[in-house]
Chains A and B, each alone.
Chain A
Amino acid sequence: MSEYILEMKNITKEFPGVKALDNVTFNVKKGEIHALCGENGAGKSTLMKVLSGVYPAGTYTGEIILKGSTQSYSGIKDSEKAGVAIIYQELALVKQMSVCENIFLGNEKVKKSGLIDWDKSYAETQKVLKEVRLNINPNTKVVNLGIGQQQLVEIAKAIAKKAEVLILDEPSAALTESETENLLQILKELKAKGVTCIYISHKLNEVFEIADNITILRDGKTIGTEPACEMTENKVISKMVGRELTQRFPRKEHTPGEVVLEIKNWNVQNPDLPELKVIHNANFAVRKGEILGIAGLMGAGRTELVMSIFGAYGANVSGEIYLEGKKVSIKNPKQAIASGISYVSEDRKRYGLVLGMDIKNNVTLSSLESISRLSLINGNEAIKATNQYVRDLRVKTPSIEQKVTNLSGGNQQKVVLAKWLMTKPKILIMDEPTRGIDVGAKFEIYNIMNKLIDEGVCIVMISSELPEILGMSDRILVMHEGRLTREFNWEEATQENILTYATGGM
């Protein structure tokens, strides 16, 4: 038997049109904490889904060897049986059930009679809770626990299943600093007891605090595995980036004018977890005729920042918004739209489109008032306006009465864009404007952005793709854990220095 408890050899996983994993090799020693690092979309989560059986054997090529024997899982149940447990970013607990019920969910302790043995379950729950140093009654409902405690319940659940390999995917994304500290401490204790842990995190300080080895993925390929003690944060970042910037962006010279939007002392609390502050005292301004890029890693609070400005992120928001020098109050999206702010959301299917409606009804949805008299819609004006946008944005469709669910991702995104352009915005916020659309459509979106700038609109663009941020923005704000950590001019920004500030380095 080799020194490795887990070996993943030559794993390749393809999705239609994309190679998410390309011949990846990933080896983990018994009893170590092994960090997996990479940019958004590098393939970390995909690799872990292969390991945990979410993508069953046969949907990928390559070999998984656990404790010396080749594995072929047909589902999560198989991988759990083999001793692999995964804890996702979004916790998978049933909120209305007790801690004890959750820990044995799907794995119930059953008596000979076929009934659940609650006494035994309760006793075992107490035992595993002690291992994660969680001092709560096993009958407490999960809904009454904080996020940090819920995370520990998940770990306890994995221990109860006798997991030998524990995978944590961005475990600290929603945790406070002291909760994170506590989590890392518990992981170290588990390691001392022989549990192997794979730790995925964007936060390099955490990685360096606990990891023994670090493996870096980039664009679906393994870049290398090194002992943490031989690495530095800068080395990790340069390996995470490591690619050449190609000319995929139609950069145009912009001349920024006066300040249109100014945000001062902006603080935001999570509406569901009031104790969690998602934005800390943000201050920034957007000028006429510029593209302001906002960079940051997943969970840095970029979407929360713009959603709260748009009036769509709960009521626990404080700070001031100045629009063309005048202070405005925006409590809901309707007021935001009326003030000239539009928001193209990151998830067009969930937040942008009514999929069952046709193009015309989607495009006009936010501007019905402008084409109606006494709230009676002028149907011909709706057709005229929609035709105009379909032509300008080059939406490829046989008819404007096509349901948007039948369009390709790129064309759907153009429909969302048309909806917001019809509101005649002064400030267009675009959250991941090119996510999930093909290269050609991306290029068209960039051209539209340049055209809008020429027409005097200002654009705030959030993107997880660094080349896009670098290729399109005039100025770049970097966020880390709810704070604006740095502002760059596009000439001085590089992938390396953005990532340094995005991972909390200085």
Chain B
Amino acid sequence: MGNAELNAIAKDNQTALKDSKSIKKILLGTLKGNMRQYTMILALLVIWAFFTIVTDGIFISSRNLSNLFLQCAATAIAACGMVLVMVAGHIDLSVGSFVGLTGAVAAQLMVKGGFGTIETIAITLAIGLLLGLFQGFWISYGKVPAFIVTLAGFLAFRGGVIAITGGNSIAPMNDSFKIIGQGYLPKINANLPFNDTSALVGVAFIICYLVFELVKRHSRIKYGFEVLPVPLLIAKMVLFSTIIALGIGIMASYMGIPYAILLLIAIIVIFTVIAEKTTFGRHVYAIGGNKEAARLSGININRVNLGIFVLMGLLSTIAGIVYTARLNAATGSAGTNMEMDAIASAVIGGTSTLGGAGTIAGCIIGALVMGSLDNGMSLMNADVAAQYVVKGLILLLAVWFDIKFSKRA
């Protein structure tokens, strides 16, 4: 190969880079690359605007939005796991029964067994981990499709719930357990019109975000990579800080940040890191994208699949604990249909039903869409029947939109 030719190509690449440096091009590029997520955010805003108008502003009140976030928490936690499961090309139908069962176990331990909050949570998590391991074993090493294994789990775990609760509800839970699902960060100064601790936490979040953004930039400069031009960087930082401030502000001006939401935020961060930044996460996406290529690339597919279902089991258990704490009781029907909501959240948020694509952030938006529909229609006093029909149609529309859209791309 001639050196001149090589140089010509290098030059071509360089000019391409220089051209794309212009701010307009960067903006257009991000917009194009994340079109799917932006349309979902737009759809969410449209839904919120609609409900705000038809409920005379009740929907957008900080009290209602705080409740909405809290109602979504358990489903959103489970949906984070569902993203990994679906990205790898599987499905988990057992989530609802799993949530019911681990919730019942926690209630039984606490109410009948007299265990304290810490012990109850520790034992419940251990049991959830084992159940996840059990399902994962059949899927990865037993080669039974996840659809079947988790359908079996859907039935068997529900049987477990009924056996433990005996058809009654087990209640009440300890106060220290209840706050996981119902409690808010306490105020320091009770006279303030807003929750001061929550506000401080919000400020801490913003600082963490800004530091993270600057450290990332510094590292990229050290490696000699392209970085955003300063005006754009500032715009980005202001935009994201405002979003954090708005979200936290809504909660702080009502009762404060619920513990469940803090937990959810931690899970979102951890699972985004797992999905994007760990070898395990990359292997999950590769298996879902092309299983044969993943195998020939030296990926241990069985072990990754096992890991996915162990994580899913852990998240279902955490969702079960939050759910039970919020209701302050375990019942025979707890968690019913939660797997469907989790799947719908993931799919609305852009997770491919064929595997290979999906993000945690997207699924949180999806969970908010589903939760907003529930909440808004309840405020409107809409019939339960209508709620189901609307949710079904929205799911159908979202996926149709996605298929049409991705065909064009």
Contacts and interface: CB of A to CB of B under 8 A. Distances in A.
B279 A369 contact: yes
Interface string B286-303: 100110111111111000
A361 B293 CA distance: 13
Interface residues of A, number: 41
A361 B285 contact: yes
Interface in B168-217: none
B282 A351 contact: no
- For the complex, would chain A's binding face be called helix, strand, loop or mixed by DSSP majority? helix
B299 A351 contact: no
Given A345-B296, A366-B298, A394-B9, A356 B279 contact: no
Contacts of A379: 277
Contacts of B356: 354, 356-357
A368 interface: yes
Interface stretch (B218-226, B341-349, B374-382): B218-226
Contacts of A259: none
Nearest to B282: A368
A450 B232 CA distance: 45
Contacts of B297: 333, 337, 365-366, 419
Contacts of A343: 296
B365 interface: no
Interface string B270-292: 00010001111011011001101
B278 A354 contact: no
B389 interface: no
B298 A337 contact: yes
B295 A375 contact: no
B16 interface: yes
Interface string A376-406: 1101100110000001001010100000000
Interface in A161-194: none
Given A312-B296, A334-B300, A357-B289, A377 B6 contact: no
Nearest to B291: A354
B84 interface: no
A396 B8 CA distance: 12
Given A351-B293, A380-B219, A336 B298 contact: yes
Nearest to A364: B282
Interface string B3-18: 0001001101000100
B286 A334 contact: no
Contacts of A333: 295-298
A383 B293 contact: no
Interface in A404-420: 419
A391 B7 CA distance: 10
A365 B12 CA distance: 27
A372 interface: yes
A355 B290 contact: yes
B230 interface: no
B279 A357 contact: no
A376 B9 contact: no
B278 A375 contact: yes
A465 B136 CA distance: 45
A380 B279 contact: no
B278 A353 contact: no
A375 B299 CA distance: 14
A334 B225 CA distance: 32
B278 A376 contact: yes
Contacts of B283: 368
Contacts of B278: 372, 375-377
Contacts of B125: none
Contacts of B292: 350-351
A313 to B, nearest CB: 11
Contacts of B294: 354, 365
A496 interface: no
A423 B357 CA distance: 25
B1 interface: yes
Interface in A102-125: none
A320 interface: no
B211 to A, nearest CB: 17
A352 B293 contact: yes
B153 to A, nearest CB: 28
A377 B299 CA distance: 16
Interface in A295-339: 310, 312, 332-334, 336-338
Contacts of A447: 1
A338 B299 CA distance: 12
A334 B299 contact: yes
A343 B298 CA distance: 11
B289 A356 contact: yes
Contacts of B219: 380
A356 B9 contact: no
Sort A-B residue pairs by CB-CB distance and give the 6 closest, nearest first: A354-B289, A334-B298, A368-B279, A337-B298, A366-B297, A354-B290
Interface of B: 1, 6, 9-10, 12, 16, 20, 219-220, 222-223, 225, 273, 277-280, 282-283, 285-286, 289-290, 292-300, 356-357
26 contacts: A310-B296, A332-B298, A333-B296, A333-B297, A337-B297, A338-B298, A345-B296, A351-B296, A353-B290, A354-B286, A354-B290, A354-B293, A354-B356, A355-B289, A365-B299, A369-B279, A372-B279, A375-B278, A375-B280, A377-B279, A379-B277, A380-B220, A394-B9, A396-B9, A398-B20, A444-B1
Interface of A: 310, 312, 332-334, 336-338, 343, 345, 350-357, 361, 364-366, 368-369, 372, 375-377, 379-380, 383-384, 391, 394, 396, 398, 419, 423, 443-444, 447
